[in-house]
């Protein structure tokens, strides 16, 4: 993750893109929630995957 | 039939009583409704009791018996379902107030209809985390579900009402759903049996989806026999569920007492060893010892698998409710609203990356099942925790309580493996705790055999919680 990344900036911009119109208090809470998402997402995002890995649309466990 | 004797009977025993004329389905339904009305306020498991329907369905079972017609394995057995399943004539809430504005369901969902065809008598709809997004059933709209073993504690979630209703002996059988652990967590915290079958095994048609690529349905019960009979009744092809895999019905009830001879049982180590409280550690050890389980190193990808489930849940769950986030945000559950909003902002690249990690994780576990039939793992790190608690400290690790309940269940649902949660009573004082038995895809039969053996040996049992017992 880029060290310059600012979750609050991202939340503000992406929320507009999604048509969510967050107010300041919501932005603050959602930024905290997004920071938690980032924390929980890290083990998966740190796992290397390549173009050869096929997440088949047919689910066969 | 009295409400007192009814509480401790299993579904199998009730059906036998009705078939042999010891009591009628009508008497059972009336006693069950009386008991549910009287005791539900203590646990808040039901959001609606469908008395008229229950009495009509029970009368139909009695009439069929009087005519000498077959009545099914669940003849006259009362059951209830998480309120995201359609019940004809009842508005399907999914724990929300948004859905309250919708008209009542025109017909029963697939699973409800299957249990009814098997002779079951639906007596109501059960409380849950809103839209199944939670592990504690602290529902701000309909109130929290209280744990029958300690009403100050959570019954788990998101199928909290389904767990509490069975543990309190209000009904012997309930249905829930499991996306990240929502059958196994309540089963563990309420001390009952819960089965999450293979992804794609049981139709979810007629239920409100949370995360379509992770959603499963399954039963809760106080005996393995009841679980098996309900599971068998729920099998069958339903083209209405796009996620169901075409597969022949594979009954398991007859395998209940086949024992574990020849089964290769492993106990997952590494990721599944910590953080773990003493009760969970002891429960896993006891189950593993009885099943003669050998230590098996969990694949290095386990943490990434859990993480992938988290990303997929955040993203798909938010997509399901994007219109609510835009238009009815104030009506959403405060405990999950910000998480849904954050999920709607997850980049597509993260979601696609998570799907690739999921494929790798699935392959890693498939390789493990070449050498093992059943794998043992904790269901939850700790027993039920106080309602309202925000943080959890286990093994020196401090973490947010609500998501932490998915620590050991999420990696497994991520790849759709079948799991049966078995309960051990008095694991920490009066509180029970559960252990996961995990098998390869489509091998629910092995889980029933292992759970049946544990139950027969007296290691796992699910009596009605003492405060609600006869």
End-to-end CA distance of chain B: 13
Q: If DSSP states are collapsed to H, E and C, what string results for chain A?
A: CCCCCCHHHHHHHHHHHCCCCCCHHHHHHHHHHHHHHHHHHHHHHCCCCCCCCCCCCCCCC
* Nearest C-alpha in A relative to B243: A59
> Contact, B339 vs B210, CB < 8 A?
no
What are the tens digits of pLDDT across the range A26-55?
A: 999 999 999 999 999 999 999 999 999 988
> Contact, B213 vs B189, CB < 8 A?
no
Residue B3's pLDDT is 47
Residues of A in contact with B302 (CB under 8 A): none
- CA gyration radius, chain A: 16
> Contact, B224 vs B191, CB < 8 A?
no
CATH H superfamily, domain B3-468: Amidase signature (AS) domain (3.90.1300.10)
Crossing angle of the two packed helices A24-45 and A7-17, in degrees rounded to 10: 100
CA–CA separation, B107 and B202 (whole Å):
18
Residue B470's pLDDT is 78
Minimal Cβ distance to B338: which of A29, A49, A61: A29
What are the structure tokens assigned to B277, written together?
């409280």
Residues of A in contact with B198 (CB under 8 A): 61
Task: Compute the nearest-CA separation of B283 from chain A (Å).
Answer: 27
> Contact, B430 vs B407, CB < 8 A?
no
User: Which of A35, A56, A61 is best to mutate for the B interface (most B CBs within 10 A)?
Assistant: A61
Minimal Cβ distance to B415: which of A15, A30, A61: A61
Catalytic residue annotation of B: 82, 158, 182
Minimal Cβ distance to B304: which of A34, A37, A47: A47
* Nearest C-alpha in B relative to A11: B345
CA atoms within 13 A on the CB side of B349: 5
Q: Is the pLDDT of residue A60 over 70?
A: no
Q: Which residues are registered as beta bridge partners of B295? A: B267
Task: Compute the nearest-CA separation of A1 from chain B (Å).
Answer: 12
CA–CA separation, B88 and B116 (whole Å):
12
Which pTM does this prediction carry?
Answer: 0.97
CB contact under 8 A, B345 and A32: no
Q: B344 at the A interface (CB within 8 A)? A: yes
CB contact under 8 A, B199 and A59: yes
Task: Compute the nearest-CA separation of A23 from chain B (Å).
Answer: 12
Minimal Cβ distance to B199: which of A42, A47, A61: A61
Cα B425 off chain centre by: 18
CA–CA separation, B55 and B462 (whole Å):
28
CB contact under 8 A, B350 and A41: yes
More confident of the two residues A16 and A54: A16
Q: B336 at the A interface (CB within 8 A)? A: no
**Domain positions in chain A:** 21-47
CA–CA separation, B313 and B311 (whole Å):
5
CB contact under 8 A, B310 and A18: no
CB contact under 8 A, A54 and B359: yes
Residue B207: Cβ within 10 Å count: 25
Residue A52's pLDDT is 94
* Nearest C-alpha in B relative to A48: B357
CB contact under 8 A, A53 and B307: no
* Nearest C-alpha in A relative to B406: A40
Residue A9: Cβ within 10 Å count: 11
User: Which of B342, B352, B364, B414 is best to mutate for the A interface (most A CBs within 10 A)?
Assistant: B342
Q: Which residues are registered as beta bridge partners of B220? A: B174, B194
> Contact, B397 vs B278, CB < 8 A?
no
Residue A4's pLDDT is 82
Residue B288's pLDDT is 98
Q: Is the pLDDT of residue A3 over 90?
A: no
What are the tens digits of pLDDT across the range B107-159?
A: 999 999 999 999 999 999 999 999 999 999 999 999 999 999 999 999 999 99
Residue B68's pLDDT is 97
Query: For residue B257, which phi and psi values (nearest 5 degrees)?
Result: -105, 25
* Nearest C-alpha in B relative to A40: B307
Residues of chain B with pLDDT under 50: 3-4
């Amino acid at each position: 993750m880029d060290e310059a990344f600012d979750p609050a900036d991202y939340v503000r911009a992406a929320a507009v893109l999604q048509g969510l119109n967050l107010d300041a208090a919501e932005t603050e809470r959602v930024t905290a929630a997004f920071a938690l998402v980032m924390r929980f997402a890290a083990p998966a995002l740190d796992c290397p995957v390549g173009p050869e890995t096929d997440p088949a649309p047919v689910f066969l466990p | 039939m009295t409400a007192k004797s009814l509480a401790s009977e299993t579904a199998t025993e009730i059906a036998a009583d009705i078939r042999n004329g010891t009591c009628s389905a009508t008497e059972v339904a009336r006693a069950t409704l009386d008991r549910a009305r009287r005791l539900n306020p203590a646990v808040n498991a039901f959001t609606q009791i469908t008395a008229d329907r229950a009495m009509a369905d029970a009368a139909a079972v009695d009439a069929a018996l009087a005519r000498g017609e077959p009545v099914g394995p669940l003849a006259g057995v009362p059951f209830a379902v998480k309120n995201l399943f359609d019940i004809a004539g009842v508005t399907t809430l999914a724990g929300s107030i948004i859905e309250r504005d919708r008209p009542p369901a025109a017909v029963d969902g697939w699973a409800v209809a299957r249990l009814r065809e098997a002779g079951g008598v639906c007596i109501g709809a059960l409380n849950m985390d809103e839209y199944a997004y939670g592990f504690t059933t602290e529902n701000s709209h309909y109130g929290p579900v209280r744990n029958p073993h300690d009403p100050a504690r959570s019954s788990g979630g998101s199928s909290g009402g389904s767990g509490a209703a069975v543990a309190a002996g209000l009904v012997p059988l309930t249905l829930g759903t499991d996306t990240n652990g929502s059958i196994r967590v309540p089963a563990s915290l309420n001390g009952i049996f819960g089965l999450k079958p293979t992804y794609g095994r049981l139709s979810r048609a007629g239920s409100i989806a949370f995360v379509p690529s992770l959603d499963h349905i399954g039963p809760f019960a106080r005996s393995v026999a009841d679980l098996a009979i309900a599971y068998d009744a729920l099998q069958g092809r339903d083209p209405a569920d796009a996620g169901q895999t075409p597969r022949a019905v594979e009954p398991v009830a007859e395998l209940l007492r086949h024992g574990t001879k020849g089964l290769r049982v492993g106990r997952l180590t590494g990721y599944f060893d910590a953080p773990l409280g003493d009760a969970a550690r002891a429960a896993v050890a006891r189950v593993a010892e009885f099943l003669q389980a050998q230590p098996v190193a969990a694949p290095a990808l386990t943490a990434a698998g859990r993480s992938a489930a988290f990303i997929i849940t955040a993203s798909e769950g938010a997509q399901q409710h994007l219109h609510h986030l835009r238009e009815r945000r104030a009506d959403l559950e405060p405990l999950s609203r910000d998480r849904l909003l954050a999920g709607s902002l997850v980049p597509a690249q993260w979601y696609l990356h998570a799907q690739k990690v999921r494929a790798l994780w699935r392959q890693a576990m498939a390789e493990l099942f070449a050498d093992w039939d059943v794998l043992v793992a904790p269901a939850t790190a700790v027993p039920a925790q106080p309602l309202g608690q925000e943080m959890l400290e286990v093994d020196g690790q401090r973490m947010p309580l609500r998501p932490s309940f998915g620590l050991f269940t999420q990696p497994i649902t991520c790849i759709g493996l079948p799991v049966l949660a078995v309960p051990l009573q008095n694991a920490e004082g009066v509180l029970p705790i559960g252990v996961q038995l995990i098998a390869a895809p489509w091998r629910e039969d092995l889980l029933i055999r292992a759970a049946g053996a544990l139950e027969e040996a007296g290691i796992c049992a699910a009596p009605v919680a003492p405060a609600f017992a006869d």
